[in-house]
Each structure stands twice: as structure tokens, then as C-alpha cells.
Amino acid sequence: MDLVNFHLNRQKDLLQQDLISFNDENEMNNFVELPATDSSSMLVEPLITNRIQDCVDSCIMTTPGQYDPVCGSDEQDYHNEQRLDCARDCGVEVTLLRRGTCVSLLSAVVLGTVPQ
């Protein structure tokens, strides 16, 4: 799934910038350092793991292929609501933000046409 790969690549890029030290590569693959609101402290958040990726890949094989896009609370587009459910059921913290793509939501905000 593209969302999971995006997060994995982004988190590995952050780690390669020497933002945090780990005892070994296995430990590094399980955590990523993110800036906190206070620049003197840092947060460590679990990384989306291969287990989650495998779960999502397996789950989406059982979902309908019909394209009916939804926007997740992580501001990522999902092929349909069932695939968003797969991501959530496999451990990704995401909820349905709206039906349609996230880009269409952004366009509506920029154009000032967001429904009340």
C-alpha cells in the first residue's frame, strides 16, 4: 500500500539524518524520532512495521476493487472505505474524514466552498 511505504520511507529518511541513536539496526527499524512542540524534547513513536504492511496487503486482497475514494484522518486517499478499514484494523491510526479524495477537500478549503 502506498501510504505505508510513504511513511516507512519518510521515517527512515529521518533516522538517517542522525536524529536519534540506536543500539542496532533492528531497534532502529522499530522507532522514529519526531520533534515535539518544545524543541528541547523529542518524542519517539512506533514505526509502521512490516507486520502491519503484510496485514494491510492481505486484507485489501479481500476488499472490493471498486474505486470509491475516501479521505482518511491521516490526510491520505484510500481506494475505498473498506481499504481504509483494512489500514485501521491492521494498526494504522486512521478514521474516515470524508468521502472523496483529500485533494478535493483541500480544493474546497482553498476555494472557500466547504459545506457547512
pLDDT mean by block of 10 residues, the chain; 116 residues:
52 47 51 47 52 92 94 93 96 94 68 56
> Taking the complete model, does pTM exceed 0.85, yes or no?
no
Q: How many other C-beta atoms are found inside a 10 Å radius of the C-beta of residue 71?
A: 21
The reported pLDDT for the residue numbered 51 is 87
The reported pLDDT for the residue numbered 14 is 46
The reported pLDDT for the residue numbered 83 is 95
The reported pLDDT for the residue numbered 70 is 96
The reported pLDDT for the residue numbered 13 is 52
- Cβ neighbors of 102 (< 8 A, separation 6 or more) are 71, 72, 75, 76, 77
Write down the domain spans for the chain.
Answer: 1-48, 64-116
Angle, CA of 53, 55 and 60, to the nearest 5°: 95
Q: How far apart are CA 16 and CA 57, in angstroms?
A: 27
The reported pLDDT for the residue numbered 18 is 44
CATH class of 64-116: alpha beta
